[in-house]
């Protein structure tokens, strides 16, 4: 299910997708047409200043992808509406925000205001889950973030936390298996969707099982289809908005053991700014 990336930005840049009667219907239509690769029809339900972006999606191929619209919630004030479109892709829940304008009695999807692009990515923290973890500050490595990490003395192998930096990437290592990479992606958009698209290269060889979780996380297991008895590897990938930047937190490409990934997810949820 390979598809070009540019059209993905439509879901973040716009705010409506469905039929011309109500904002909710327009939002549904927009989302469904986008996911089925029917981008030409989007021209009928977007404003003039949004058509250039739609054309960019058409030029990129506008390939279809699997998505299910779970709900659309809109707040309307006069000729303007803001809608949240909740979708499920690969068992992962996403929320896309849209702006709409009523033009001569018809609701149209308009380019979303820049201030509306930031997504809520804070996860609730249960302090009891962090018993046995230690607070680490990464400022000395040029990363103004604090994060809770497993106590190195409890880990097999390396009994201290090692942090190495490579330009805008940091690798946090504890023991033999805990290898967490943090990347500074600045203001890049659609990061999770791009990663989901990248993972489709594994579909032919591996059984990919995605788990539900916070909307800023991708968590999955991977096992070889040709060897049913083969053990699964476990993986996590998250995008967190910290210090007005988008940071990617991810395990190594080969994955790790499930308990390690469980700890890694807790660490990612605890990350916060030191500023």
Task: Choose among 100, 102, 72: nearest CA to 85.
Answer: 72
Confidence band of 215 (pLDDT split at 50, 70, 90): confident
Phi, psi of 82 (to 5 degrees): -120, 130
pLDDT at 6 over 80: no
pLDDT for res 255 = 95
Instruction: Give the count of beta carbons closer than 10 Å to the beta carbon of residue 162.
Output: 11
Task: Choose among 212, 232, 233, 210: nearest CA to 220.
Answer: 210
pLDDT for res 154 = 62
pLDDT at 5 over 50: no
Confidence band of 19 (pLDDT split at 50, 70, 90): very low
Confidence band of 145 (pLDDT split at 50, 70, 90): very high
* Least confident piece of the model among 26-30, 76-80, 214-218: 214-218
Whole-angstrom Cα distance, residue 162 to residue 174? 7
Q: Please answer whether residues 210 and 92 qualify as being in contact, where contact means their C-beta atoms are separated by less than 8 angstroms.
A: yes
Whole-angstrom Cα distance, residue 235 to residue 26? 36
194-213 pLDDT per residue, tens: 898 899 888 889 999 888 77
Tell me how far apart the 2 most distant CA atoms of the chain are, in Å.
Answer: 68
Highest mean pLDDT among 17-21, 77-81, 117-121: 77-81
- Options 3.10.450.50, 3.40.50.720, 3.30.70.20, 3.40.50.300; CATH for 6-116 is 3.10.450.50
pTM above 0.85?
A: no
pLDDT at 4 over 70: no
Q: Please answer whether residues 69 and 86 qualify as being in contact, where contact means their C-beta atoms are separated by less than 8 angstroms.
A: yes
Domain parsing of the chain, residue ranges: 6-116, 127-273
Laid out side by side, the sheet with 272-273 consists of 133-137, 145-150, 272-273
Confidence band of 156 (pLDDT split at 50, 70, 90): low
Mark 193-211 as b/e (b = at least 16 C-beta within 10 Å). Answer: beebbebeeeeeebebebe
Instruction: Give the count of beta carbons closer than 10 Å to the beta carbon of residue 270.
Output: 20
Confidence band of 158 (pLDDT split at 50, 70, 90): low
Which ranges constitute the DSSP H helices of 60-199?
Answer: 191-199
pLDDT for res 257 = 93
Whole-angstrom Cα distance, residue 92 to residue 131? 28
Confidence band of 157 (pLDDT split at 50, 70, 90): low
Q: Dig out the tokens for 171 from the structure.
A: 């690798």
Residue of higher predicted confidence among 160 and 124: 160
Task: Choose among 8, 14, 10: nearest CA to 98.
Answer: 14
Q: Please answer whether residues 146 and 274 qualify as being in contact, where contact means their C-beta atoms are separated by less than 8 angstroms.
A: yes
Whole-angstrom Cα distance, residue 250 to residue 239? 9
% of the chain exceeding 90 in pLDDT: 45
Confidence band of 125 (pLDDT split at 50, 70, 90): low
Q: Do domains 6-116 and 127-273 have the same CATH topology?
A: no
- Stretch 155-184: mean pLDDT: 86
According to DSSP, the β-strands at 233-242 and 92-103 are: unpaired
31-85 pLDDT per residue, tens: 899 888 898 999 999 999 888 878 877 887 787 888 889 999 999 999 999 998 8
If one looks up domain 127-273 in CATH, what number appears? 3.40.1000
Task: Choose among 194, 205, 224: nearest CA to 94.
Answer: 194
CA dihedral 98, 102, 105, 108 (to 10 degrees): -40
* Least confident piece of the model among 114-128, 162-176, 246-260: 114-128
């Amino acid at each position: 299910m390979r598809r070009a990336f540019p059209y993905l930005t439509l879901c973040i840049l716009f705010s409506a997708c469905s039929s011309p009667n109500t904002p909710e219907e327009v939002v549904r239509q927009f989302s469904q047409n986008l996911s089925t690769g029917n981008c030409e029809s989007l021209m009928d339900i977007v404003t003039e200043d949004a058509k250039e972006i739609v054309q960019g999606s058409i030029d990129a191929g506008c390939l279809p992808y699997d998505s299910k619209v779970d709900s659309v919630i809109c707040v309307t004030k006069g000729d303007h509406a803001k809608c949240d479109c909740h979708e499920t892709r690969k068992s992962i829940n996403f929320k896309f925000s849209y702006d709409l304008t009523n033009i001569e009695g018809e609701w149209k999807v308009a380019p979303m205001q820049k201030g509306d692009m930031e997504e809520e990515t804070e996860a609730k923290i249960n302090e009891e889950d962090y018993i046995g973890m230690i607070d680490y500050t990464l400022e000395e490595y040029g990363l103004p973030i604090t994060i809770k990490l497993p106590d190195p003395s409890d880990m097999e192998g390396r009994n201290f936390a090692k942090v190495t930096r490579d330009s805008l990437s940091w690798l946090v290592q504890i023991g033999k298996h805990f290898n967490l990479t943090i990347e500074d992606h600045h203001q890049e958009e659609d990061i999770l969707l791009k990663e989901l698209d990248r993972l489709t290269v594994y579909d032919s060889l591996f059984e990919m099982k995605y788990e539900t979780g916070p909307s800023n996380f991708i968590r999955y297991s991977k096992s070889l289809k040709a060897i049913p008895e083969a053990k699964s590897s476990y993986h996590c990938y998250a995008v967190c908005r910290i210090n007005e930047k988008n940071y990617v937190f991810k395990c190594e490409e080969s994955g790790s053991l499930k308990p390690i990934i469980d700890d890694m997810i807790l660490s990612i949820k605890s990350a916060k700014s030191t500023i």
